[in-house]
Amino acid sequence: MYQYDSTDQALVDQRVAEFRDQTRRYLNGELSEDDFRPLRLRNGLYIQRFAPMLRIAIPYGLLSSTQLRMLASIARRYDRSYGHFTTRQNLQLNWPKLADVPDILADLATVQMHAIQTSGNCVRNVTSDHLAGVAADELEDPRPYCELLRQWSSFHPEFTYLPRKFKIAVSGAPADRAATEVHDIGLHLVRSAAGELGFEVLVGGGLGRAPMIGQVIREFLPMGDLLSYTEAILRVYNRYGRRDNIHKARIKFLVKSLGIATFREQVEAEWQASRDFDSQLTPAQIAHARSFFQPHPYATLANTDSLAAAGPEFKAWYRYNTRAHKVSGYRVVFVSLKPVGAAPGDMSADQMEAVAQLADEVSFGEIRATHNQNVVLADVRQTDLAKTWQELKRLGLATPNIGTLTDMIVCPGLDFCSLANAGTISVAHQLQRHFDDYDYLYDIGEIELKMSGCMNACGHHHVGHIGILGVDKHGEEWYQITIGGSARESSSLGHVIGPSVPQAEVAATVERILDVYRELRQEDERFIDTVRRVSATPFKERVYAKDLAAA
Amino acid sequence: MQKILRLPEAPAAGAAGPEVPLITQAELLADPARYRAGGARVGVRVAPSDRVEDLAPHLAHLALVAIEFPGPGEGRGYTYARLLRQRYAFSGEIRAVGPAVKQDLLFFMVRCGFDAFDLAPDQNLTEARQALGRFTLAYQPAVPRAAVREPRFTATR
């Protein structure tokens, strides 16, 4: 993985010193609340309902065991001994003290980590495929380009006060595991007809109140132009994005109002006029970045039959919580952060330390955070799977539910967030308890349930196969349900299938949706494919018919 | 009272000085000849909604360009300074003006090409000067008068 050089380290250290001084001035009364807000946001610090929340950057989701141990240590020392993994591969601490944050950032800097630009109207943490470098379908490892973008966007002087936040995701495989189509910029590594490696560039995707799917602005961008072309997009956005209405300020509204053709012309004109003075990537810089992401020193191993002598519990875990690795004899292991009774995405300090230890023993000391709020050990020998499973089971991290209904994405909701209209964690618990029968879950098969506590959509509900949105109805928490969304390749937005339901009815409503699916599916058709084939109409008619009958 | 901080290396900044009359971009564009009469030199205030490229034909006659930062979230001025310096090669003073010109933004402004800062009333000149030195390095290429050592990513020109 990437290792800081003296420049990276000095910048992070200088940032810590700067924020320490800014925090001191705020606590002294020299900086007003209004002046401090954008400064603390650019260091990941929100003021939430009950306490500050600190969002720590995990660049493209990749952590060393040393870094995960430091996160455990920070969670224990400054917080309540746990952290929460987010849909953008970051880690949030829910209970730090404002006055401690400079010390937390200083601790992070000792392990080449930071919270730079994890919030605020600037370029955020660049996210990527959690199977980068190990997926068999990958054209090229996207992480070197993520790292180059991380550096280029850090403290970018021109783009630190954009109209609104700006999120970039990069994928190197045809299967989109990074939700690139719902990012402000989505980058797909592709080869030109001549065999040259470059990017397909999408722009204007995003969720929130007005979800939109990104559109192709450029079919092929040569690698060396990555930064200058991104700067051209950002410069057009910085100048012409709306600043008068926060709800219309994301780049997707500019792209929509101009139309992709006009927006493309403006970006091309800006690029042609500016590319000579914007950042250029040299072949040497690209090669240097790539040198940090070379394959691990894998042993030459044959694939083994891991299931031959295994019991049913291990078999279920193997089937749901592991994936193929491109190198024979290895397997990718998902660490489920979705056990029954937990807040999805939460991990205790003890678990972090134990997983760090496990990563050192079986997975080259690296850990990945996924945008589905789980953790991955990407390089486990098949012969180590049994002991890995035993250890994860001991830690409560082997719930065999990856890719199933209870592997849901859930934002923190009303329990923590000052924007939320409704609770999400209690609804997650309701769903976990209601759907606790594995035979049923496995029969339903691959499905993505995503839940947000408000229309800002941090839980990505628009792109859930089943999406749940918390709404406030006269002071009560109600939930609107959509079906048919997806953030994978050829993504789609979900359709509302009826009126919102009271909190107590969510699981029962989801079950009725699944009843319709079980009746209409053909052979082993997935839920999303059935919805796409039959449309949302049969679901609308039947899921709510019972409500009417009961009423 | 105005508190103007200038970069030590800013050339002839004193010649521009606060006494140079400032007009709006709209005033200049309405009658450019009037402001050139007798070799007079003026400064122009650029508001966030102005089109900075419209200034290009007049830059040779301007003593300074003052770019407005009316509020803490306003970020268009950073782009305007970069364009003036890099696309239009303006070598006169570029001054940040307005209530949001505060010490914590100065480093970004310098990197975009500003070389003078009309500080907000609550700002302390000494602290603001120190704030310019908070970062000694940067990733991105910047204007000629960069405040840092060689950046990591460079421009072809």
Q: Do the Cβ atoms of A161 and B73 come within 8 Å?
A: yes
Q: Are A85 and A93 a contacting pair, CB within 8 Å?
A: no
Residue A446: which residues within 8 A CB-CB, separation 6 or more? Answer: A403, A404, A526, A527
CATH number (3.30.70.270, 3.40.50.720, 3.40.50.970, 3.20.20.70) of B4-131 reads: 3.20.20.70
Q: Which of A18, A22, A151 is facing B139, going by the closest CB pair? A: A151
DSSP-assigned letters across all residues of B10-50:
-TTHHHHTTTS-EEEHHHHHH-GGGGGGGG--EEEEE-TTS
Instruction: Give the whole-angstrom CA distance, residue A203 versus residue A197.
Output: 20
DSSP β-bridge partners for residue A130: none
Q: Are A116 and A155 a contacting pair, CB within 8 Å?
A: yes
**Closest chain A CA to residue B141:** A279
**Closest chain B CA to residue A274:** B87
Q: Does residue B118 sit at the A interface (CB-CB below 8 Å)?
A: no
Q: Does residue B70 sit at the A interface (CB-CB below 8 Å)?
A: no
Across B50-54, average pLDDT? 96
Record the tokens describing residue A547, joined without a space: 């409500």
Backbone angles phi, psi at B4, to 5 degrees: -105, 125
Q: Which of A161, A227, A276 is facing B74, going by the closest CB pair? A: A161
Q: Which of A225, A177, A179 is nearest to A202 (CA)?
A: A179
Optimal mutation site among A154, A279, A280, interface B, most CBs of chain B within 10 A: A279
From the number of C-beta atoms within 10 Å of its C-beta (0-12, 13-18, 19+), residue A231 rates as buried
Q: Which of B87, B157, B89 is nearest to A276 (CA)?
A: B157
Q: Which residues of A touch B79 (CB under 8 A)?
A: 158, 235, 238-239
Q: Which residues of B touch A156 (CB under 8 A)?
A: 139-140
Q: Which residues of A touch B135 (CB under 8 A)?
A: 11, 14-15, 18, 155
- Other beta carbons within 10 angstroms of residue B122's beta carbon come to 11
Q: Do the Cβ atoms of A154 and B112 come within 8 Å?
A: no
Q: Which of B72, B74, B78 is facing A158, going by the closest CB pair? A: B78
**Closest chain A CA to residue B107:** A157
**Which stretch of DSSP H or E encloses residue A171?**
strand A168-171
In a 3-state reduction of DSSP, which class is residue A130?
Answer: coil
Q: Do the Cβ atoms of B74 and A163 come within 8 Å?
A: no
Q: Do the Cβ atoms of B154 and A161 come within 8 Å?
A: no
Q: Which of A200, A208, A215, A195 is nearest to A170 (CA)?
A: A200
- Strands (E) across A282-430 are located at 322-324, 330-335, 346-348, 366-369, 375-381, 409-410
Query: What value does the mean pLDDT of chain A take?
Result: 95
Q: Do the Cβ atoms of B140 and A152 come within 8 Å?
A: yes
A336-379 residue pLDDT tens: 999 999 999 999 999 999 999 999 999 999 999 999 999 999 99
Q: Which of A10, A227, A235 is facing B153, going by the closest CB pair? A: A227
Please give the domain boundaries of chain A with CATH numbers for all domains: 6-109 (3.90.480.20), 134-290 (3.30.413.10), 312-394 (3.30.70.3340), 409-550 (3.30.413.10)
Q: How near does any CA of chain B get to the CA of A541, in Å?
A: 47
Q: Do the Cβ atoms of B153 and A158 come within 8 Å?
A: no
Q: How near does any CA of chain B get to the CA of A281, in Å?
A: 7
Q: Do the Cβ atoms of B156 and A280 come within 8 Å?
A: yes
Q: Which of B76, B79, B155 is facing A277, going by the closest CB pair? A: B155
Buried b (16+ CB within 10 A) or exposed e, A280-302: bbeeebbeebbeebeeeeeeeee
Instruction: Give the whole-angstrom CA distance, residue A210 versus residue A192.
Output: 33
Q: Do the Cβ atoms of B107 and A278 come within 8 Å?
A: no
* Runs of H (alpha helix) within A363-424: 385-394
Q: How near does any CA of chain B get to the CA of A422, in Å?
A: 29
Which residue would you say has higher pLDDT here, B7 or A346? A346
Buried b (16+ CB within 10 A) or exposed e, A441-464: beebebbbbbbbbbbebbbbbbbb
Optimal mutation site among B139, B145, B154, interface A, most CBs of chain A within 10 A: B139
Which residue type occupies A315?
A: K
Q: Are A340 and A399 a contacting pair, CB within 8 Å?
A: yes
DSSP β-bridge partners for residue B94: B65
Q: Are A82 and A127 a contacting pair, CB within 8 Å?
A: no
Residues on A contacting B at a C-beta cutoff of 8 Å = 7, 10-11, 14-15, 17-18, 22, 34-35, 37-39, 121, 151-152, 154-163, 227, 235, 238-239, 243, 273-281, 285
Optimal mutation site among A116, A242, A277, interface B, most CBs of chain B within 10 A: A277
Residue A22: which residues within 8 A CB-CB, separation 6 or more? Answer: A31, A36, A39, A40, B104
What is the pLDDT tens value at each position of chain A, 551 positions in all?
999 999 999 999 999 999 999 999 999 999 999 999 999 999 999 987 778 999 999 999 999 999 999 999 999 999 999 999 999 999 999 999 999 999 999 999 999 999 999 999 999 999 999 999 999 999 999 999 999 999 999 999 999 999 999 999 999 999 999 999 999 999 999 999 999 999 999 999 999 989 999 999 999 999 999 999 999 999 999 999 999 999 999 999 999 999 999 999 999 999 999 988 888 899 999 999 999 999 999 999 999 888 888 899 999 999 999 999 999 999 999 999 999 999 999 999 999 999 999 999 999 999 999 999 999 999 999 999 999 999 999 999 999 999 999 999 999 999 888 889 999 999 999 999 999 999 999 999 999 999 999 999 999 999 999 999 999 999 999 999 999 999 998 899 999 999 999 999 999 999 999 999 999 999 999 999 999 999 999 999 989 875 554 44
Q: Does residue B121 sit at the A interface (CB-CB below 8 Å)?
A: no
From the number of C-beta atoms within 10 Å of its C-beta (0-12, 13-18, 19+), residue A305 rates as exposed
Instruction: Give the whole-angstrom CA distance, residue A464 versus residue A482.
Output: 8
- Strands (E) across A409-475 are located at 409-410, 449-452, 466-473
Q: Do the Cβ atoms of B111 and A157 come within 8 Å?
A: yes
- Other beta carbons within 10 angstroms of residue B50's beta carbon come to 19
B121-131 residue pLDDT tens: 999 999 999 99
